[in-house]
A and B are shown apart, each in its own frame.
Chain A
Amino acid sequence: MNNIKFKGTTLTKLSFVGAVTFSFMCSSITSVNAGHHGNVYGPYPITEKSYKGTKKNSVSYGGQMARQLLHNSLKKLASTGSPSDPTLAPEKKMLAYLNTKDKSKSLPIMDPKNSSKFPVKQKMIGELSGGANLSGKADKRIQTSWPGNMSGVDVIKFMIKKAGKTKGGVDTRNGMNYPQLISKYTMGAVLYHQACDNYLDEKMTASSKPNNKPYKKGAYYTGKEHSWDEAFGYWGAAAHTMKLSAAQSYDVAKKKDLKAADYNKDGVVDLQTEMTYAHAYYASSYDKKGKTNYLKTVTGAFIDGRKLITAADGNKLSEAELNKIQDYVQIICSNWEDVIAESVFKYAGSVYKDLSKIEKALASGSGMDKAMSKYLKHWGELKGFAMALQAGPDNKSDTFNRMNRMMGFGPLMPNLSQVVGIDSSGNYIKDQGSSIGYYKLHMLKIQNLMADKYALKAKINDATGGMAALLEEVGTKKSAEND
């Protein structure tokens, strides 16, 4: 009797514990699943009805990742210029990374290169895509932000030509830092331009690249799926960005955090899905300071939009769905634009500070090599981002004209000379600029303009921010009082 009773309670206890354990396991599995599918860009199922092959994942943006790496590599090469090389090897090499589609897998990835600290899966551009180059996708509109009335792609070629003949890529006479100019402008003229002025613009309308047809004949993804994926690729975020903090994404771009990068735990960083690039990197640099959330806002909108397209299951998107897509596009491109504007703001502040140092050096007669090299680097970044901002769909021509006028075509040099144009043989024309004080004032006004026209929150290097803080500290009078 006793024995049976004992057995009975044991059984109930056991089944109770079993049930608890089982439900706990189930719930943890579902939560892992939800997390996995909810927060990572892909994999997404095949919905294209005409596709009869064996592929299971419709996500494809290898061409964009190839371009991210072409851009990275181009930036590295831009500092290899040599005035004494009659073969023009540096220029030719850069042009290869601008123009070549690496079908034969012969273009090595210059950055990130494989290392023990940060091992990478792919070594050649062609391993990501053999059908992508930068020049084919660069902005073809005439650029007023650069002298010579050239198209975007010609501006990049012009800069490359100059960089190839300039030692270290930095022209200290005219003040041009080509690695920065080429890199930042390419980010705008190719990456941002293609995403927001093409794939998320024309290709998200009802008539273009419909969802009930393959992107191109025989493709395993629909028109809308692939257009969306391409735009995401240009953004440059790792597929698992939502699982990382902004600081981790930043460190991934800096090749400092293998653990954060290697999401599938295969020991290497897959440059297709696990790396942070260009725009996403700049977004992370602002977000990690805590005032903004650009990276996850944009990446999240990309994921939500892709889910919506996937859910249409290979059918044409309804008007309501297209409108919802437009909402996501709005989030993506306005935040993306703000990230670039934050950079313009930040580097205008850097240039302001550098000029103060140069002013001091001029007054005291002390050396200014270090200050100058920083100044030219920051000016290159400022100019590059300012030009990039103008590569978007939104033509704020009034804002752009004012910004370009205040910045000029080149930095104001300590001898007050400044590039004002290009002659017919491609040489810079210079003129006497204003005073350093005036040029600094222009930097302040560029910061004001950015803060005025864009929803900036990070506002790094705010040249008047300290003044506002001091005024805050003394406070305002709120009562009528005599003394």
Chain B
Amino acid sequence: MEIFYQYLETISENFFDPKKRVFLGYLFSAFLISFMWLTFVKKEKIKQAVYKIFDKKIFMSKSAKADYILFLLNIIILMFLSPLLISQLAIAHFVFEYLHSQTFLTPLGIDINYMWMIPIFFTFCYFVLDDFTKYVTHALMHKVPLLWEIHKTHHSARTLTPLTIFRTHPIEGVIFVVRSALTQGIVIATFYYVYGGNITFVTILGANLFSFWFHLFGSNLRHSHIRINYWSWLEKIFISPAQHQIHHSIKKEHHNKNFGVAFAFWDYMFGSLYISKSDEDVKFGISETEHKYENNIIYLYLSPLIGIYKLIANYVSSKNLKVKKQKFIFNKQTR
């Protein structure tokens, strides 16, 4: 009973907590942005625009339905897995204690006059570094064949809705929880040490100031059929919804592009940036032909395990070491 209540709470938290991507307020702002985009920029009629935004074919597609079920089932799985994972607090304590034994980084004596800037600086750094580790993790999910087998689940979506973020294999969920805990633990402990505990987050409705803006300005449209693109110079700084949609494209030239979440400059720096073109049509998914079971829930849970098994079997049977390495560690062909 207790667990069931906790389960419902976690579900509702996703929609009522402004720290979460699919918080109702952000979903509403995403609707407003897409409405304005369609009526002002694309010059569509109001009725037509609304009809397009809430397209039944998309929200009720087999792919979207699988997203919804995965959302509900994964919460249960993570409820049991999360307590087993290393906590952000343990990481933070470890880092904080380590910092006392080194001399490279020393606590700053802060001039009281600049005190007001510290929370903003801290909040910004946290957001940027968090975004960077997301970029790295995402790139690895594509480049490492083992991880790609797991990340495939997300890319198997044929239609994108804001809830497609939950079309994620639980193993990937665990990887992201660990990434998040490591980032939080390391960044917070380091700042806490350097600023002698004088740090606070700048928040709006409890959410990080910059996350709040990111979500308010349409983060939910990344996974949608509303193709909003920016000026190309801006797409080098921020990832536009269209750019993430390109990331989901089945076209070969779109593979392994736009790993970024909020910022595009990571992709720019590491050569994976792809600027959107307004006339380019994008079809979502892994391959041209739909896999027979790609929206079957059991298949979605098992396919990474099957894929990993095949990889290992292949690895063991192949005798050539060079091939082994290529196949197993870094394989440019994955995506």
Residues of A within 8 A of B (CB): 356, 359-360, 363-364, 435, 437-438, 440-441, 444-445, 448, 463-464, 466-468, 470-471, 473-483
* In the assembled complex, B188 has its CB within 8 A of some CB on chain A: yes
Closest to B93 in A: A464
Given the complex of chains A and B, what is the CA–CA distance between A470 and B93 in angstroms?
A: 13
Tell which of B23-31, B43-51, B72-80, B313-321 binds the partner: B72-80
Tell which of B168-176, B272-280, B325-333 binds the partner: B168-176
**B201 in contact with A474 (CB, 8 Å):** yes
Known: A467-B197, A471-B88, A476-B87. 13 other contacts (CB 8 A): A435-B103, A444-B97, A464-B96, A468-B92, A474-B126, A479-B71, A480-B70, A480-B173, A481-B165, A481-B168, A482-B168, A483-B134, A483-B222
Instruction: Tell me the count of chain B residues lying within 8 A, CB to CB, of chain A.
Output: 61
Given contacts A363-B109, A474-B184, contact A480 B166 (CB under 8 A): yes
Q: Is the interface of B mostly helix, strand, loop or mixed?
A: helix
CB < 8 Å neighbour of A360 from B87, B109, B169: B109
Tell which of B13-21, B228-236, B287-295 binds the partner: B13-21
CB < 8 Å neighbour of A356 from B103, B107, B188: B107
CB < 8 Å neighbour of A479 from B74, B189, B261: B74
Q: Render B179-191 as a binary contact track against A, CB cut-off 8 A, 1 for contact.
A: 0110011001100
Given the complex of chains A and B, what is the CA–CA distance between A448 and B93 in angstroms?
A: 10
* In the assembled complex, B158 has its CB within 8 A of some CB on chain A: no
**B19 in contact with A475 (CB, 8 Å):** yes
Given contacts A474-B201, A476-B88, A481-B173, contact A438 B100 (CB under 8 A): yes
**A479 in contact with B107 (CB, 8 Å):** no
CB < 8 Å neighbour of B10 from A360, A445, A471, A478: A478
Given the complex of chains A and B, what is the CA–CA distance between A467 and B169 in angstroms?
A: 31
**B74 in contact with A467 (CB, 8 Å):** no
Closest to A472 in B: B89
Chain B residues near A471 (CB-CB < 8 A): 88-89, 92, 184-185, 188
CB < 8 Å neighbour of B82 from A464, A467, A473, A476: A476
* In the assembled complex, B138 has its CB within 8 A of some CB on chain A: yes
**A477 in contact with B201 (CB, 8 Å):** no
Given the complex of chains A and B, what is the CA–CA distance between A356 and B196 in angstroms?
A: 8
* In the assembled complex, B225 has its CB within 8 A of some CB on chain A: no
* In the assembled complex, B192 has its CB within 8 A of some CB on chain A: yes
**B13 in contact with A467 (CB, 8 Å):** no
Most buried by A among B100, B134, B188: B100
Closest to B102 in A: A437
Chain A residues near B100 (CB-CB < 8 A): 437-438, 440-441, 444
Closest 7 pairs (CB-CB, A-B): A480-B173, A441-B100, A360-B109, A480-B74, A483-B261, A480-B168, A437-B100
* In the assembled complex, B113 has its CB within 8 A of some CB on chain A: no
Given the complex of chains A and B, what is the CA–CA distance between A437 and B103 in angstroms?
A: 8
Closest to A467 in B: B192
Chain B residues near A437 (CB-CB < 8 A): 99-103
Taking the closest CB of chain A, its distance from the CB of B80, in whole angstroms, is 12
Chain A residues near B169 (CB-CB < 8 A): 480
Selected A-B contacts with CB under 8 Å, 21 pairs: A435-B103, A437-B101, A437-B102, A438-B101, A441-B101, A464-B92, A464-B192, A467-B189, A467-B192, A468-B92, A470-B199, A471-B184, A476-B88, A477-B177, A478-B10, A478-B82, A480-B169, A480-B172, A481-B176, A482-B164, A483-B165
B residues 1-22 in Cβ contact with A at 8 Å: 10, 13-14, 19, 21
* In the assembled complex, B208 has its CB within 8 A of some CB on chain A: yes
Given the complex of chains A and B, what is the CA–CA distance between A232 and B61 in angstroms?
A: 75
**A480 in contact with B199 (CB, 8 Å):** no
* In the assembled complex, B167 has its CB within 8 A of some CB on chain A: yes
Most buried by B among A448, A475, A482: A482
**A467 in contact with B168 (CB, 8 Å):** no
**B177 in contact with A476 (CB, 8 Å):** yes
